Structure 1
Amino acid sequence: MASENVPLVDLRAQYLALKPEIMAAFEEVLEGMQLFIGPRQRAFEQEFAAYCGCQFGVGNSSGTTALELALRACGIGAGDEVITVSNTFIATIEAIAIVGAIPVFVDIDPETYLMDWQQLEQVLTPRTRAIIPVHLYGHPVEMQPVMDFARAHGLRVIEDASQAHGATYQGQRVGSFGDVGCFSLYFSKNLGAFGEAGICTTNDPELAEKMRMYRDHGSRVRYLHEIMGSNARLDELQAAVLLIKMPHLERWNAERQAHAQTYNEQLRDVVEAVPVVRSWGTHVYCYYVIQVPDRDRFRIALQEEGIGTNIHYPTPLHLQPACAQYGYKPGLLPVTEALASRIVSLPMYPELTQKQLQRVIDAVKKHAGSLTSHSA
């Protein structure tokens, strides 16, 4: 009998476990027909903000939108510089570009793959207005030195926590350190809608109010538009899903951590690198990222075994055609560039069974070992 395939992520497994509750909630929303800025959205905003240790949550239409709303609320605009990293999804940079600002890249820590805060000073200019640290793959950035640097230079801090729902730094949840925390609620995230959604967290009532206005056509009262906004609302169907999923997030994160521990124990001496977790942080493993030589051959070999993989991310943003205008050339971010050719993400989701985990581990041992000896 053929072995069962192991996808990179299995969204159906989670849906089936919650299906009766979700379908009942959908029916309730559709009976009432209040489809946006309704009671479920407000309840989810409060619950998620409290979970992150923040006073305010502002639900919106996507993680990209969340970043854009945060930048606009913080007054970041044309010609302002925003320091961030190149090893992230392009949404981080798109939001900066959308408001007319300029991304300025620093390199990453070679072990955590996250912002190297020690490089912030090197790229500071009179036009620097903000920093966007990205809590990538589920591990937090070292926030204390980032916050210290920002305060010393009067900079805004907007956390991109799109892959780190529930991760902590020094016991405090991400999204609660900067002026605003931004989360994607894209369907495959640790906490995901059934499609697209996002949320911003903050302890600043003024920023919260601005973001609420920007997401709803610049208005507090319908048909009275105080500023130019956009349509970036979170709809009630997505909020209903998120409210149902929210109580499960901590358990799901714990299951991801248990899977990662199993991977780590069995793969540490097989691949070039397994994920590192700093003593001051917790990792929630949105993605489980390893390093291997001859990455493309490795992925093909696993695909032939029925195991899904992905690359987060194959081409650093500073070398993407869309970012050519910013003038970065190969060699300027050596750690980021070296990493991009070696990383690969293995299957990671709470519902992975022990049998599936072992299938992945056996395949990695089989193929990573042969590639290492081949490339030696």
Structure 2
Amino acid sequence: MPFIDLRAQYAALKPSIDARIQRVLDHGQYIMGPEVQELEQALAAYVGTQHCITVASGTEALLIALMTLDLQPGDEVITTPFTFAATAEVIVLLGGVPVFVDIEPDTLNIDPTQIEAAITPRTRAIMPVSLYGQVADMDAINAIAARHGGLPVIEDAAQSFGASYGGTAGTPRESGSAPRGKSCGLSTWGATSFFPSKPLGCYGDGGALFTNDAALAQAAREIRVHGQSQRYTHTRVGVGGRMDTLQCAIVLGKLERFDWEVAQRLAIGERYQRLIGDLPLQRLAVREDRDCVWAQFTVQVDHREAVIESLKQAGIPTAVHYPKPLHRQPAYEARSRAATPLPNAEAAARRVMSLPMSADLSEAQQDQVVAALRVALT
């Protein structure tokens, strides 16, 4: 059983993807070809933002977002320690300091009640991560940012593209709170990844940035092409951060059934939650006012290694996202600081385990996973 079934997805989309790839091969514009702008327009319309800028990866998206904010050495960015290294990596690469606050014990997203106390005169931005496919509490985070001089908020949405927040997903919040909509369209910047295993993936590296701020969008467009405002006029310091035309063509092909895939992910995730409801493990909480597109279907278990080994013997692949929080990583221990104790992040790193998940996971496969998990936990 595959952990993520990309072959089944390709089989369903093969005619469209192959045709789009062939079109690029025919016109030969491999860098900034017409598919780049076509994809940016389609993605902006999907998310509901005025601007989308495709970039070379999800990491590049975060880096460029921070560069548009002119992050300086010593500036602080408040974020979560329970995430992939890229979240802190881009801050450190620019000379900034990741400031970690703890996560909620049930969603494993950043705990907004811990953020305000971590703000200092050096705070330049807040970077929540929408982990496992569920948007963080953007209402609360945006409100904190607004109270502190309009701090920029960058949603690290590498795992949550397609997720809904607010009234479209469940119970609406109080009127007057942050705008409703989709992941990537809820803050100053939304940054996502098209790594192949993501909810919307390409066949290599790719990513995108989303904003309603025209000045920031223009800055990002220039930064991704080495800071050029026009050819050989380098207005800013930039990077080689373009998304290849071929990868844009592949994502355009995948967009054709993306609404169906999101619906499948929601249904499969809900069925998983129901099937494992009586097992001795901790399920991820999904808030009533949002959904989760389950980039990973993650649970928390005791004796994780024994459970993983039992599942392995039954032919069930697993993964751990993530076994060591960033404040314990050698590269970041001395380059970051913890603004609060981080017991929930520490506990999650010891207990999280991800099960097979994709839009093409069949009920029979899901039943097989749950049956093996039941044995492993007894």
TM-score, length-scaled by structure 2? 0.94
- Alignment partner of 1:252 out of 250, 261, 276: 261
Which 4+ runs in 1 deviate beyond 6 A?
A: none
- Alignment partner of 2:329 out of 299, 320, 327: 320
Whether contact under 8 Å (1:82, 1:131) holds in the other structure is yes
Matched-pair identity in %: 41
Q: Which residue of 2 aligns with 1:18?
A: 13
CA distance in 1, matches of 2:109, 2:323: 16
CA distance in 2, matches of 1:20, 1:328: 50
- The CA deviation string for residues 262-286 of structure 1, in whole angstroms up to 9 with x for no partner, is 2111111113211211111111111
Whether contact under 8 Å (2:192, 2:208) holds in the other structure is yes
Confirm or deny that 1:213 pairs with 2:222. Answer: yes
Question: What is the CA distance between 1:327 and its match in structure 2?
Answer: 5.9
Q: Which amino acid aligns with 2:347?
A: A
Whether contact under 8 Å (2:165, 2:289) holds in the other structure is yes
- Alignment partner of 2:157 out of 155, 161, 173: 161
Confirm or deny that 1:340 pairs with 2:349. Answer: yes
- Unaligned stretches of 5+ residues in structure 1: 1-5, 371-376
Question: What is the CA distance between 1:332 and its match in structure 2?
Answer: 3.0
CA distance in 2, matches of 1:197, 1:209: 19
CA distance in 2, matches of 1:215, 1:121: 32
Q: Which amino acid aligns with 2:316?
A: I
**3-state secondary structure, aligned to 1:341:** helix
Confirm or deny that 1:63 pairs with 2:65. Answer: no
Q: Which residue of 2 aligns with 1:76?
A: 71
Confirm or deny that 1:278 pairs with 2:287. Answer: yes
CA distance in 2, matches of 1:237, 1:10: 21
- The CA deviation string for residues 20-65 of structure 1, in whole angstroms up to 9 with x for no partner, is 2212211110111111112111011111111111010000000000
Change (3 A) 1:275 1:327: closer
**Which shifted more, 79-88 or 271-280?**
271-280
- Alignment partner of 1:297 out of 296, 306, 310: 306
**3-state secondary structure, aligned to 1:103:** strand
- Alignment partner of 2:95 out of 97, 100, 124: 100
- Alignment partner of 2:366 out of 357, 361, 373: 357
TM-score, length-scaled by structure 1? 0.94
- Unaligned stretches of 5+ residues in structure 2: 169-180
Q: Which residue of 2 aligns with 1:3?
A: none
CA distance in 2, matches of 1:214, 1:135: 25
Question: What is the CA distance between 1:335 and its match in structure 2?
Answer: 0.7
Q: Which residue of 2 aligns with 1:367?
A: 376
Q: Which amino acid aligns with 2:360?
A: E
CA distance in 2, matches of 1:218, 1:262: 47
- The CA deviation string for residues 288-343 of structure 1, in whole angstroms up to 9 with x for no partner, is 111111001100111111111000100001100111213658x9310110111111
CA distance in 2, matches of 1:81, 1:75: 12
Q: Which amino acid aligns with 1:313?
A: Y
Confirm or deny that 1:267 pairs with 2:276. Answer: yes
Confirm or deny that 1:119 pairs with 2:128. Answer: no
Q: Which amino acid aligns with 1:160?
A: D
- Alignment partner of 2:234 out of 202, 225, 239: 225
Confirm or deny that 1:130 pairs with 2:125. Answer: yes
Residues paired across the two proteins, number: 363
Confirm or deny that 1:37 pairs with 2:46. Answer: no
**3-state secondary structure, aligned to 2:256:** helix
CA distance in 2, matches of 1:47, 1:223: 29
Whether contact under 8 Å (2:102, 2:111) holds in the other structure is yes
Give the superposed CA RMSD: 1.2
Whether contact under 8 Å (1:319, 1:328) holds in the other structure is no
Whether contact under 8 Å (2:280, 2:301) holds in the other structure is yes
Q: Which residue of 1 aligns with 2:185?
A: 176
Change (3 A) 1:271 1:40: farther
**3-state secondary structure, aligned to 1:323:** coil
Higher helix fraction: Structure 1 or Structure 2? 1
**3-state secondary structure, aligned to 2:331:** helix
Confirm or deny that 1:306 pairs with 2:339. Answer: no
Q: Which residue of 2 aligns with 1:47?
A: 42
Question: What is the CA distance between 1:80 and its match in structure 2?
Answer: 0.6
CA distance in 2, matches of 1:279, 1:219: 44
CA distance in 2, matches of 1:326, 1:41: 36
